[in-house]
Amino acid sequence: MEECVTDLREDALIARLTAGSHLSGDVRVGPGDDCAVIDFSTSDGSLLLLKTDCVIESVHFAPGSDPEKVGWKAMCRVISDIAAMGGTPKHALVTIAFDSKRKVSEVEGWYRGMRKATREFGDFSIVGGETASLPTQGAIISISMTGSVPANRYFTRSGAKAGDLIAVTGRLGGSFKSERHLTFRPRFFEASWLGSLPEDLRPTAMMDLSDGLSKDLPRLADLSGVPGFEIDFSKIPIHSDSDLKGAIGDGEDYELLMTLPQAAAVTLGKDWKKQFPDCELTVIGEMSDKQNRTPLEGGWEHF
């Protein structure tokens, strides 16, 4: 009979989950103490990024999903947000809560997926966290992450200007119809490259597409104080198993949404193709100083 978490004491479970953890050189104290201790002194004046996010069984992943893919998604969702700011992940704290009948092998699978993501995107460390039991069946994986970004080189949602072009990476739609919501790769390397460009070529605003173009583009416009935008629906890059409605409203794509100065778009587009031949960068519209906004339907709502 497969081992359940109730067959182990909490300390024994934590010891098993953290046994394979890699700790980077700036970690003074890792999992097992009351707090992680990190040497945060920097010589380049980098800024600290903080982010937290969670995945919930039956909301963000179905019961019975491949545990490694669930762990991958949980970690990569937060990496995607750090990347969208132009930053690099540094340390993660993992809180997991689940019912007492959960199989140990599933929980270990979550951690394998999370550790795989930490190795692939910045080679950073899981430095601690918490475990808790739920009174009913289900599971929650919550990840808090620190990151760093060079001063004056970070992206926000609030820098777009009227006349800027609107662009997205990759293709959109159909994430939950397939397994893409569990296997996506956050655009960490692409965002890092964008952050390294001269200021006149860099995006003026950027965010990751998690709730769908229909929700995220208006957020970017509102925070930037730009009243309008126009979208050319024929230009939106759509996955072959989706349609326009899904590309606009499905969410869970984790692509980058950005605005670009018109004068820089052609040059940046050519350089992008050389750097990332397997990832499209597509201009789909333009920010406007007019009050009109192209109607966009759908998008993820929690409540």
Q: Considering the chain, what is the average pLDDT of its residues?
A: 91
CB 29 within 8 A of CB 35: yes
d(C-alpha 254, C-alpha 169), whole Å: 9
User: What is the H or E stretch that residue 125 is in?
Assistant: strand 125-133
Q: Which of 22-36, 75-89, 148-162, 213-227 has the lowest mean pLDDT?
A: 22-36
Q: Which of 42-51, 158-167, 202-211, 260-269 has the lowest mean pLDDT?
A: 42-51
The residue whose two tokens read 């550790």 is 115
64-116 per-position pLDDT tens digit: 999 999 999 999 999 999 999 999 999 999 999 999 899 999 999 999 999 99
Residue 33 has pLDDT above 60, yes or no: no
Which domains does the chain possess? 8-149 (3.30.1330.10), 165-288 (3.90.650.10)
User: What is the H or E stretch that residue 78 is in?
Assistant: helix 67-84
User: What is the H or E stretch that residue 169 is in?
Assistant: strand 165-169
Token reading at 139? 């599971």
pLDDT of residue 150: 85
131-184 per-position pLDDT tens digit: 999 999 999 999 999 988 888 888 999 899 999 999 999 999 999 989 999 999
CB 37 within 8 A of CB 27: yes
Residue 10 has pLDDT above 70, yes or no: no
User: What is the H or E stretch that residue 93 is in?
Assistant: strand 88-98
CB 251 within 8 A of CB 212: yes
pLDDT of residue 37: 63
Q: What angle do CA 64, 66, 67 make, to 5 degrees?
A: 95
Helix then strand then coil, % of the chain, to nearest 5: 30, 25, 40
Report residue 42 CA to chain centroid gap: 25
pLDDT of residue 7: 77
Residue 34 has pLDDT above 70, yes or no: no
DSSP-based three-state secondary structure for 57: strand
Q: What angle do CA 117, 118, 123 make, to 5 degrees?
A: 130
Residue 43 has pLDDT above 90, yes or no: no
